[in-house]
């Protein structure tokens, strides 16, 4: 599988496209104005305790208070509160946790009112960006992610990714991390750590420890509701999480972004530094790589599939609904069951891509074409799971219900990617209405009064739609002849088939358009 990353940088941010075998599978937008990114740590102030929800609303500077549930506090929240109080009062001088005495873990079935109180300061991490009318979703179970490991304060646990299957490798990684991790810090070993040496893991861990030290330093003077520690940019986050030897090229269209990406890759994976390329063509980077066309054809309510079938995607506040239709598919002349099975498999592959591409989260209900054979339903379910296995977002797929519906839940941490693919009608400018045609000639004559009498133009040409030209020239004593007697000069009338029915333009004797 050939992977390519295309980065379109602009003054307002960057749009990042991930291609697999030249097909667009992920699209991300990194906006400079977006202050709330998953992973950012803020010094929150508790605004309100809600015992009925077992949750609290926290002020992190957003227009709406952020939501913090008891289950998102993390077992070591009392240790975090203690550290925050000591650091802000100047009573704790060390930047690590060597001399810190952790508190006991909180009860999983406890109440939030027993842990937090109104006005209390608590460092919190953005777990979900603001979506729709809701504020950010928070967690106080802090973690700082690197390329190979994740650092978790107030813990001694070393966790290893389940995707690393070899027991020998798991034991090796555990021993390596145990030998280099600081006291009172837990570590999560990521999948990409497999096969990496001590030096690479240690460098990544030291970078994370440095970030923790920055967090403790800033915690002392940061004002409530302000950011304490920011996550790296979306571009670097994607590179950190998905960069592997499968990547063939990374194309960037702007010099400073090119240097930033190349420098970051040199840090995390020096052997891949040479795959970064600077886009130097006249056309835009997305047009050159065919991404613009893919965006226009892929987003929207209806998504056409190669075999003639199509998907209809509807979005509501509560869930997303995807309907699979066979359309005019006639390629397979076998029985109806086999045809439905082939359409459903084609649709399943595209649905897995659409979920990643649009970053659709929450509940997704898919209405596949009805199939009667249990073996086909089972095979389709397994095929959908295999296609969804490439998705980095956490997800769960339920087997088809007795109505043939497949339910998917997918992690939602940021707003869905929504791109409007329809264009504004040039005739009505998106209003759905045009000026009355009966007033068209009045508009033309009003402009004649301005151009011929006030501007004193001579030998002008009126260019209109062919239907309007035919109407103006119809008959012996036609509208063109009336204009000659009224204005004292002959006005040429020409037609242009590309014009809209009510569109008209004036040109001077030098064939230059007269701007009105």
DSSP states along 55-78: EEEEESSSSS-EEEEGGGS-TTHH
* pTM of the complete model: 0.68
Q: Please choose, from the candidates 347, 324, 343, the residue with its C-alpha nearest in 3D space to the C-alpha of residue 332.
A: 343
Q: DSSP alpha helices (H): ranges in 306-421?
A: 336-358, 374-388
pLDDT of residue 499: 86
Which secondary structure element, helix H or strand E, spans residue 516, and what is its range? none
pLDDT of residue 34: 62
Q: Please choose, from the candidates 240, 213, 37, 245, the residue with its C-alpha nearest in 3D space to the C-alpha of residue 145.
A: 240
Angle at 293 between CA 292 and CA 294, to 5 degrees: 90
CA distances from 463 to 457, 492, 507, 515 (A): 16, 8, 8, 13
Q: Looking at the DSSP assignment, which residues form a beta bridge with residue 87?
A: none
Residues 6+ apart with CB under 8 A from 280: none
What is the number of helices (H) and of strands (E) in the chain? 12, 24
CA distances from 13 to 33, 131, 149, 285 (A): 8, 19, 28, 15
Asked if residues 351 and 360 have their Cβ atoms less than 8 Å apart, the reply is no
Angle at 324 between CA 320 and CA 328, to 5 degrees: 145
Q: What's the CA gap between 76 and 94, in Å, rounded?
A: 19
pLDDT of residue 240: 79
pLDDT of residue 243: 79
For residue 65, the tally of other CB atoms under 10 A from its CB is 19
Q: What's the CA gap between 393 and 416, in Å, rounded?
A: 13
Q: Are strands 137-139 and 55-59 parallel, antiparallel or unpaired?
A: unpaired
Q: Is 151 helix (H, G, I), strand (E, B) or coil?
A: strand
Residues 6+ apart with CB under 8 A from 498: none
Q: Are strands 41-50 and 55-59 parallel, antiparallel or unpaired?
A: antiparallel
pLDDT of residue 133: 77
Digitized pLDDT (tens) for each residue of the chain, 516 residues in all: 788 999 888 877 788 899 988 899 988 887 666 667 788 999 999 999 999 999 999 999 888 899 999 999 999 999 999 999 999 988 888 888 888 898 999 998 999 999 999 999 999 999 988 887 788 999 999 999 988 999 999 998 999 999 899 999 999 999 999 999 999 999 999 988 988 889 889 988 999 999 999 999 999 889 999 999 887 766 777 777 777 777 889 999 988 888 888 888 888 788 888 899 999 888 889 989 989 888 888 888 888 888 788 999 998 878 899 999 987 665 455 578 888 999 999 999 999 999 998 888 889 999 999 988 889 999 999 999 999 998 888 999 999 887 889 999 998 777 777 666 666 776 677 777 777 767 888 889 888 888 888 888 889 999 999 999 999 999 888 999 999 998 889 999 999 988 888 889 999 888 888 887
Q: Are strands 41-50 and 121-128 parallel, antiparallel or unpaired?
A: antiparallel
């Amino acid at each position: 599988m050939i992977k390519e990353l295309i980065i379109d940088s602009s003054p307002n941010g960057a749009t990042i496209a991930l291609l697999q075998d030249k097909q667009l599978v992920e699209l991300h937008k990194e906006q400079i104005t977006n202050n709330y990114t998953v992973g950012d740590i803020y010094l929150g102030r508790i605004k309100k305790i809600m015992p009925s929800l077992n949750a609290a609303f926290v002020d992190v500077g957003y227009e709406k208070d952020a939501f913090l549930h008891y289950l998102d506090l993390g077992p070591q929240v009392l240790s975090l509160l203690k550290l925050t109080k000591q650091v802000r009062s100047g009573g704790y001088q060390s930047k690590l946790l060597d001399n810190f005495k952790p508190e006991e873990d909180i009860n999983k079935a406890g109440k939030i009112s027993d842990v937090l109180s109104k006005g209390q300061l608590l460092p919190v991490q953005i777990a979900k960006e603001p979506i729709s009318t809701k504020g950010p979703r928070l967690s106080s179970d802090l973690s700082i992610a690197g390329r190979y490991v994740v650092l978790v304060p107030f813990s001694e646990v070393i966790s290893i990714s389940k995707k690393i299957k070899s027991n020998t490798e798991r034991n090796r990684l555990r021993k390596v991390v145990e030998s280099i991790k600081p006291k009172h810090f837990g570590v999560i070993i990521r999948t990409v750590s497999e096969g990496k040496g001590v030096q690479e893991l240690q460098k990544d861990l030291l970078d994370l420890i440095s970030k923790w030290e920055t967090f403790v330093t800033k915690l002392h003077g940061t004002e409530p509701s302000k950011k304490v520690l920011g996550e790296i940019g979306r571009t670097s986050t994607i590179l950190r999480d998905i960069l592997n030897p499968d990547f063939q090229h990374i194309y960037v269209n702007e010099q400073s972004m090119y240097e930033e990406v190349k420098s970051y890759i040199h840090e995390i994976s020096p052997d891949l530094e040479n795959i970064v390329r600077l886009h130097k063509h006249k056309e835009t980077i997305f047009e050159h790589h065919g991404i613009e066309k893919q965006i226009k054809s892929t987003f929207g309510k209806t998504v056409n599939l190669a075999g003639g079938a199509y998907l209809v995607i509807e979005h509501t506040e509560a869930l997303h609904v995807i309907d699979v239709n066979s359309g005019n598919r006639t390629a397979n002349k076998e029985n109806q069951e086999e045809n439905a099975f082939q359409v459903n498999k084609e649709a399943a592959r595209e649905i897995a891509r659409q979920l990643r591409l649009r970053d659709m989260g929450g509940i997704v209900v898919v209405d596949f074409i009805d199939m009667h054979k249990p073996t086909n339903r089972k095979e389709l379910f397994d095929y959908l799971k295999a296609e969804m296995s490439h998705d980095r977002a956490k997800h769960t797929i339920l087997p088809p219900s007795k109505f043939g519906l497949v339910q998917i839940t997918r992690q939602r941490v940021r707003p869905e990617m929504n791109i409007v693919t329809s264009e504004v009608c040039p005739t009505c400018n998106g209003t759905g209405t045009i000026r009355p045609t009966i007033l068209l000639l009045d508009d033309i004559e009003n402009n004649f009064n301005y151009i011929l009498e006030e501007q004193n133009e001579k030998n002008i040409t009126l260019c209109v739609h062919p239907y309007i030209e035919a109407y103006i020239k119809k008959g012996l004593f036609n509208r063109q002849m009336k204009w000659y007697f009224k204005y004292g000069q002959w006005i040429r009338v020409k037609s242009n088939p590309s014009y809209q029915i009510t569109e008209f333009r004036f040109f001077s004797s030098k064939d230059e358009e007269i701007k009105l």
